[in-house]
Chains A and B, each alone.
Chain A
Amino acid sequence: MDDRQPQKLSTQQSTEPQVLLADWQALSPWSIVSFIMGSLKSIFSNGYALIPIFYAGWTNDISVFWVIDGAIILIGLLTTFAFIQWRKFRYRISRVQLDVKRGLFFTKKDEIPLNRIQNIRLEQTFYFKLLNLAELVIETAGSSKDEARLSAIDAQHAHALKQQLLQLQYEDVESSSQQPDTDATGKSPELTQPIVTRSLKELILFGFYQNNFIWFALIAGPIAGQIEWEKIVQSALFQQLITWVNHTTHESLMLQLVLFVGLLVAGYLLFSMISIIASVLKYYPYRLDKRQQTLQRSGGVIAHQQDALAIKRIQVIHFHQPLLARIVNRWTIYLKQVKGNEVEEKTKQHMLIPAVKPNEIEQIFQPISSLSPTPIRLPNGYMPINIAWLYKRIWLPFIPFTILSALGLLTPLPIEIAVIEVAFVAALVVSALLVVRFKRWGYFLQNDAIWQHSGLLGRHWKRIPFEKIQHVKIIQTRAQKQKQLAYLELGLASGTIMLPYIAIETANLIAARAFNTISPHYKPWI
């Protein structure tokens, strides 16, 4: 990487001397606002844990004044902390690294080498937009813990900083902060053709198919635990409701069922609405640009975000189609990057392309030619894995049923028939799901990449380029060896990918193609 430095010097010389901040810099006092907001956000995003507390407080008639006092104390504390944070925060950027120093009692100094920077997000919250300020979030190798935030920076300056941190050519910095050039490479971001944009309608669609009930359950769980169901059932309102239901449905079971299903659908739609609103707020107006060797996504209603990602950091392209998306035939494309050591992958959510039609895929990836020399489009079919995968698993769900019936028949233990029936039905359902899962397993082999297909109700296609593979692992049991089958594990910087029960020749072929691509010469891949 050092070889780049002289090049930069010669191209830079007189263009943008103010971009380099070799001395320790303080942030603008406005950053106090964003520090406060940051703490508030982290409190509220863990807020569903507080709901039971509020509920308990509400039922126990805590005075409003207490709440107001509490809020004032909270804001006061946060402001003090934010002030200290601002006073102690210093950063500087040299040619090779970004240094950030912070902390009152325990001074923490981060040194981030520029070539380790994974993502840079330029975020403009609505109140910063008015002040023409922006916040830069710098993520290194996918770890959320070690990210650095430079808040309340002048927007123009933030743009320039972003370019520099991404080690782009200086001509680009110059043109993006000044007037657009006639030169093809030096166009301002407003004038370049975006790779992909998403309309409001498509984002609504995305919100609709992407939602899942898990979130609902997460929020509803603690609340439901707090409610005293017995009291509700005995309450006059509920009794009235029951009578109303019985009256309107004329006590017919069919109509009651319809009502129940209707309520469920209504609940689901309500939940979809939340998801849709979240999607629109986060992504609208969605736009993905390619500038130099980076991809930049921008969008967001309340906080305008601009994420930048170096193209070479993209490892696996993951196409996901949830169950609902199958109806509308849309895919979500995730650009998977180098994984951090943390469990929570924060970068995962940032680089995605929502609601893509299958025929749009080729166009989207055409400008990003460094990802693949050949056009990227979803394969039409896939080779299935060996049926032995299913044989090995299909009988497992029947174990509880077998044990229960054996105990019921052979021992005097009191086991009810109903329990055995439930176990049998559950076993049938699980084995049916296993069959579906088996049907979805497969792979598609190309000269420069291998595709993995999997899924249960939704579908996943993962494109694994051979040049990004880090290690290959072939796992065989003795039985598999006899049947000429193997598990193949492909290790990538974004995680490992497994192909179970494929023919050993295929596994060897994939391994051979991977090694022929990566072993002979070194090429930076992350």
Chain B
Amino acid sequence: MNDIDHQHQSLHHTDIYQHGEPLQPQQLTPLTELVLTHIDNNYPKLQLYVAGIVYGLIATIVCLIIGFIVPLSITAKLLLILFILITAALIIRLTYLKALTICYGVFKGELIMRQGLFWISTTALPYTRLQHVNLSQGPLERQYQLVTLKCFSAGSGEAEINLPGLNADTAEHLRQHLLHQAAENQTTNANVITASLDSQHG
């Protein structure tokens, strides 16, 4: 006891930490505010290149058609071409910005993904509802070592979570983790069934 008293007396003010009031449930971070990890930097770049080439080509073709075929006055043609070029640039820019917004988070109970430029959507898929996981890699993604992860639940044919632009190593880790979670769920599932059968017989 004396020792403790002695220690207390010798405390500096930096040795005491004020924890403050405990957080109220309302102050916990809601789903939409959670801090998430961004996907690989190369993915927005890749999207930029692809969109640049595709929309650039379309815009060029349309401009050529307008320039040589459509019968209009020179000023009208120039204005129209200018408009098309601006639109194409805008679309390319938006594609890039949208790719930048994609982020994800691996939590204890669920996988969370957020994306969207104007409509920001946050999707949460609990591991207990995961039916299957799919990794895919297109030819262009292969150049940048990128992988798309798809997580499916039951019912609808499309993936609940479609997470592109993951680094190949991260994706593999993530897949392992998700499969591990699913396997754990399956074992508990089997236990539940035997338990319910026992209760029925008893």
Contact = CB atoms under 8 A, between A and B. Distances in A.
Bound together: yes
B109 A3 contact: no
Interface in A175-222: none
Contacts of A495: 155-156
A1 B186 CA distance: 10
Contacts of A341: 156-157
A511 B124 contact: yes
Nearest to A521: B188
B87 interface: no
Contact of B129 (A141, A476, A518): A518
Interface residues of B, number: 35
Contact size range, A? 35 or more
Contacts of A515: 109-110, 124, 126
B86 interface: no
Contacts of A518: 126, 128-129
Given A491-B156, A494-B155, A522 B189 contact: yes
A526 B126 CA distance: 15
A4 B193 contact: yes
A152 interface: no
Contacts of B156: 339, 341, 491, 493, 495-496
Interface stretch (B42-50, B58-66, B114-122): B114-122
A504 interface: yes
Contacts of B127: 519
A495 B124 CA distance: 16
B155 A470 contact: yes
B190 interface: yes
B195 to A, nearest CB: 10
A494 B153 CA distance: 11
Interface centre among A470, A481, A495, A519, by most chain B C-beta atoms within 10 angstroms, is: A470
Contacts of A315: 155
B154 interface: yes
A478 interface: yes
A471 to B, nearest CB: 4
Which secondary structure dominates where chain B touches chain A? Answer: mixed
Interface string A373-414: 000000000000000000000000000000000000000000
B119 A476 contact: yes
Interface in A486-524: 486, 491-496, 504, 508, 511, 515, 518-524
Contacts of B122: 473-475
B31 A508 contact: yes
Given A477-B119, A515-B124, A519-B110, A504 B32 contact: yes
Contacts of A504: 30, 32
Given A475-B121, A522-B189, A338 B30 contact: no
Contacts of B153: 470-471, 491, 493
Contacts of A228: none
A476 B31 contact: no
Contact of A520 (B32, B109, B125, B160): B109
B133 to A, nearest CB: 14
Nearest to B155: A493
A7 B199 CA distance: 13
A476 B32 contact: yes
A2 interface: yes
B14 interface: no
B124 A338 contact: no
A523 B119 contact: no
A341 B127 CA distance: 22
Interface in B160-196: 160-161, 185-186, 188-190, 192-194
Contacts of A524: 189, 192
A475 B116 contact: yes
Given A339-B155, A495-B155, A519-B109, A473 B128 contact: no
Contact of A521 (B30, B128, B155, B160): B128
B81 to A, nearest CB: 25
Nearest to A7: B197
Contacts of A477: 118-120
A472 interface: yes
A508 B153 CA distance: 21
B123 A472 contact: yes
Contact of B125 (A471, A486, A526): A471
A513 to B, nearest CB: 12
A521 B121 CA distance: 26
B123 to A, nearest CB: 4
A336 to B, nearest CB: 10
Interface string A450-487: 00000000000000000001111111111001000010
Contacts of B121: 473-476
A474 B120 CA distance: 8
Contacts of B189: 522-524
Given A471-B123, A474-B122, A338 B129 contact: no
B188 A522 contact: yes
Nearest to A475: B121
Nearest to B116: A475
Contact of A475 (B119, B188, B192): B119
A4 B120 CA distance: 45
Contact of A522 (B120, B124, B185): B185
| Closest 4 A/B residue pairs (Cβ) | A493-B155, A519-B109, A522-B185, A341-B157
Interface of B: 30-32, 109-110, 116, 118-129, 153-157, 160-161, 185-186, 188-190, 192-194, 197, 200
Given A475-B116, A521-B188, A522-B128, 5 more contacts: A3-B197, A470-B154, A471-B125, A493-B154, A519-B126
28 contacts: A469-B129, A470-B153, A470-B155, A471-B161, A472-B123, A472-B124, A473-B123, A474-B31, A474-B122, A475-B119, A476-B32, A477-B120, A481-B120, A486-B32, A491-B153, A492-B155, A493-B154, A493-B155, A495-B155, A495-B156, A508-B30, A508-B31, A511-B124, A515-B126, A518-B129, A522-B188, A522-B192, A523-B128
